[in-house]
């Protein structure tokens, strides 16, 4: 399942056509994120022009609704609390659009809301992450690597889909061999970002001290 993030765009039909052919499912978000819609910054009333926003949302729904790979819609990234974000008229407008033009697809109000008031009926998860490397076996467990705020495992929590988890993408093995030594490659990856940095040659022992060479000149 690919997530098209709410701070970005509605993907083009060419992208969805490729997903249709290859059997890849997509979670498509509308263009809102808590980063600038009141939760972290900005204002709960944003965007400034609600009519233009809903007109663009209507065009996107009509453009993408025939693609079987579009599994469900989400109103935005980390919109919290959902009672305030999206703004009431935008939430009502998006709901009406989807009920009218794409009624055979479900939708959620937010990708994530705070654990203290998490409701699986309106958001996907109560917490993001983890973002580090995880043992391969953990991906066969419920909610891989997810911890409650007190550090205990959240494997018993009902989450339909964790929208943000895992580390950055790793290059293919052939590419790794071009910039890692055999010793570093054998140690890659580790469970923490620090270990990965060391494995990539960022520790002090592997770095040439150019400043010392300059001092000798």
78 is catalytic: yes
What percentage of residues in the chain have a pLDDT greater than 90?
A: 44
pLDDT-derived band of residue 193, with 50, 70 and 90 as boundaries?
very low
Choosing from 11, 14, 29, 78, the catalytic residue is 78
Among 83-87, 115-119, 203-207, which stretch is predicted with the lowest mean pLDDT?
A: 203-207
Per residue in 73-85, pLDDT (tens digit) is 999 999 999 889 9
DSSP letters, 123-145, are EEESS----S---GGGGGSSSTT
Q: Give the phi and the psi of residue 50 in degrees, each rounded to 5.
A: -70, -35
Q: pTM of whole model > 0.85?
A: no
- Separation of alpha carbons 124 and 75, rounded Å: 11
Sign of CA dihedral 126, 111, 140, 132: negative
- Separation of alpha carbons 198 and 191, rounded Å: 12
Contact 124, 79 (CB under 8 A): no
Is the model more confident about 201 or about 169? 169
Half-sphere exposure at residue 75, Cβ-oriented, CA atoms within 13 angstroms: 31
Answer whether residue 205 shows pLDDT above 60: no
Choose among 122, 128, 161: nearest CA to 146.
Answer: 128
121 is catalytic: no
Sequence-separated (6 or more) residues with CB below 8 Å from residue 22: none
Choosing from 11, 164, 182, 183, the catalytic residue is 164
Note the pLDDT of residue 217.
Answer: 46
């Amino acid at each position: 399942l690919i997530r098209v993030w709410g701070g970005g765009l509605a993907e083009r039909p060419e992208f969805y056509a490729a997903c249709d052919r290859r059997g890849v499912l997509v979670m498509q978000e509308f263009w809102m994120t808590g980063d600038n819609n009141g939760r972290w910054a900005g204002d709960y009333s944003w965007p400034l022009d609600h009519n233009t926003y809903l007109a663009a949302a209507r065009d996107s729904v009509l453009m993408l609704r025939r693609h079987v790979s579009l599994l469900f819609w989400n109103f935005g990234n980390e919109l919290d609390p959902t009672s305030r974000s999206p703004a009431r008229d935008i939430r009502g407008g998006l709901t009406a659009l989807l009920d009218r033009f794409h009624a055979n697809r479900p939708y959620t109000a937010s990708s994530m809301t705070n654990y203290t008031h998490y409701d699986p009926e309106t958001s996907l998860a109560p917490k993001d992450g983890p973002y580090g490397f995880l043992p391969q076996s953990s991906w066969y467990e419920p909610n891989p690597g997810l911890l409650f705020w007190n550090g205990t495992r959240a494997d018993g929590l009902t989450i339909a889909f964790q929208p943000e988890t895992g580390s950055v993408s790793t290059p293919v093995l052939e590419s790794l061999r071009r910039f890692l030594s055999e010793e570093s490659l054998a140690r890659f990856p580790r469970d923490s970002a620090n270990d990965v940095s060391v494995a990539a040659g960022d520790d002090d022992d592997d770095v040439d001290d150019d400043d010392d060479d300059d001092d000798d000149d």
